[in-house]
Amino acid sequence: MSESLVIASHCGPYRVDFDRVPEALAADGKPCHVIVDSRVADLHGQRLASILDSAASVLRVEATEDNKSLDAFPPYVEQLVAHGLRRDHVLLAIGGGIIQDITCFLASTMLRGVDWHFIPTTLLAQADSCIGSKSSVNCGAAKNILGTFKPPRRIVLDTRFLETLDRREIHSGVGEILKVHAIAGAHAFDTLAAEFDALFTDDAVLNRAIRRALEIKKGYIETDEFDTGPRLVFNFGHSFGHAIEAATHFAIPHGIAVTIGMDMAAAIAAGLGLEDGSAQHRMHAVLAANYQGFEDVPIPLDPFMAALSKDKKNTGAGQVTVILPQPDGGVARVVVAADQRFRDLCVDYLNHGRRA
Ligand SMILES: NC(=O)c1ccc[n+]([C@@H]2O[C@H](COP(=O)([O-])OP(=O)(O)OC[C@H]3O[C@@H](n4cnc5c(N)ncnc54)[C@H](O)[C@@H]3O)[C@@H](O)[C@H]2O)c1
């Protein structure tokens, strides 16, 4: 068990405990309403029994994008109201990013704010999304368009949950770990890339990478919790990645779409002459290894471009705001004209880039 990580936030400090459930969650006396991924409840019922049995209420939710859409919320609210949720109670999320987003949004809005705790069960949630305060909820066709900032009071990170995760979900989490290391610079990325194969076979290597990713992210979110400046680089791979998810109707898991998005960003930066192609040369092999199996999924151009032009980070018509590799080995936010040249580079990558 490694030392806890303490994160400063606008709600005060909160902590990530690298520990085991249920031992780590000795009741603090407050009634606790659990929102749990139904698959996780089925797979880890024994481990979670004492938490679920002692909860004031348990809401089982299937982790789908539809279930984190605003339309799905009335029954969640009704159940919590029926079980007497009050401001001095806590919500406990057990699951991946979808359960996190649902719980964080409810905790931010119900009764104008209720504390929440989090047991992340996917690699993506453990290594990245569990810290940083954000909730993102879908509305109609717009993904992640509604959101709030409210960190959990406490996160218990028990890596034994990862044992039942599908291989593609492990790659999805590794995609976000690669992203965080890319943001920290060429040395951090290359060090992780050298250990890429071991991430899937050696728990110690994976646990180190998770902790390192959280430490890197901590530095950014403590400086820019509300995502208006330095933290924006965490969207590396995301503008392209979200457009890929939309254009493929979510056939590609989030962190894998982000992995393809980083590869595409490197190709576009080189194509626009913003750097000399070193980033693409350095990063392509490991990124391609992480999206292996998804290199032939068709990504149709028009829906891709339509989704990219609607990205919430864009600031002006005819422009897209993207995070691109830089000559110094890091990444930075760049506003690019969405002109014919940019479109041609996108076409070229979508048709040939993943097979390059
Ligand atoms: N709020 C944020 O900061 C933030 C950041 C990144 C992503 N997200 C959101 O998170 C979502 C993606 O989350 P995710 O990748 O963590 O996964 P997820 O919650 O979508 O779950 C993916 C699949 O894994 C299953 N699962 C979860 N834990 C498991 C376990 N231990 N064993 C077996 N199966 C398990 C789920 O039931 C589901 O089928 C997206 O909606 C994305 O928009 C939010």
Q: Give the domain CATH number at 15.
A: 3.40.50.1970
Residues 191 and 46 in one domain: no
Q: Which pTM does this prediction carry? A: 0.95
Q: Which domain holds residue 81?
A: 5-164
Residues 245 and 139 in one domain: no
**65: exposed, middle or buried (C-beta count within 10 Å: 0-12, 13-18, 19+)?**
middle
| Residue where the block lists tokens 């009050």 | 86
How far is residue 115's CA from residue 150's CA, in Å, rounded to a whole number?
9
pLDDT of residue 27: 52
Q: Which of 116, 95, 96 is nearest to 104 (CA)?
A: 116
* Distance between Cα 342 and ligand 1 center (Å): 32
The tokens for 332 are 């930075």
CATH code, domain carrying 323? 1.20.1090.10
Residues 22 and 87 in one domain: yes
How far is residue 345's CA from residue 272's CA, in Å, rounded to a whole number?
8
> How far lies 214's CA from each of 218, 226, 327, in Å?
6, 17, 25
CB of 98 closer than 6 A to ligand 1?
yes
Residues 158 and 208 in one domain: no
* Distance between Cα 40 and ligand 1 center (Å): 11
Residue nearest to atom 44 of ligand 1 (CA): 97
- The last residue of one of the domains, among 113, 138, 164, is 164
Residue nearest to atom 21 of ligand 1 (CA): 96
Residues 124 and 44 in one domain: yes
| pLDDT tens string 289-313 | 999 999 999 999 999 999 998 877 7
Mutate to test the pocket of ligand 1, among 40, 44, 119, 122 (most ligand atoms within 8 A of CB): 122
pLDDT of residue 141: 82
Residues 78 and 197 in one domain: no
Residues 93 and 207 in one domain: no
* Distance between Cα 123 and ligand 1 center (Å): 8
- Peptide bond connecting 300 to the previous residue in cis, omega within 30 degrees of 0: no
Residues 118 and 239 in one domain: no
Atom of ligand 1 nearest to the CA of 162: 31
pLDDT of residue 1: 67
| pLDDT tens string 214-241 | 999 999 999 999 999 999 999 999 999 9
Q: How many domains does the chain have?
A: 2
pLDDT of residue 185: 96
Profile the chain (356 residues) by mean pLDDT over runs of 10 residues: 92 96 73 97 96 96 97 98 97 98 98 97 98 96 92 97 97 98 97 98 97 98 96 96 93 95 98 95 97 95 91 77 95 94 95 88
In three-state secondary structure terms, 35 is strand
Spatial CB neighbours of 97, under 8 Å, sequence gap ≥ 6: 122, 124, 125, 129, 254
Residues 79 and 175 in one domain: no
Residue nearest to atom 6 of ligand 1 (CA): 129
